[in-house]
Amino acid sequence: MAGNDPGQTPRQRPRCPICGAPQLAAFRPFCSARCADVDLNRWLSGVYAIPAVEEDEPSGAGPGDPARVKPN
């Protein structure tokens, strides 16, 4: 059976996790700058679970605390 396609490599190329297109070396692990940007936006918008750490401010701080000077 001579069904070998000259344009196909035996090893499967890794694919872009965003759109599934073959990765481009310049944008690994994505296929383009746009997909890299999409992934970044997912991070920034909190799609990925990020443990929220809330600052807790002590409500009894003295007025002359040098470690807690607010620029307001």
Point out which residues bind Zn ion (CB under 5 A): 16, 18-19, 21, 31, 35
- Give the nearest distance from C-beta 41 to Zn ion in angstroms: 13
Cβ closer to Zn ion: 33 or 61? 33
CB of 7 to Zn ion, least distance (A): 20
Bridge partners, 15 (sequence order): 22
Q: Which amino acid is at 41?
A: N
**Shortest distance, position 44 Cβ to Zn ion, whole Å:** 18
Cβ neighbour number for residue 35 with a 10 Å cutoff? 20
Cβ of 65: how many Cβ atoms within 10 Å?
9
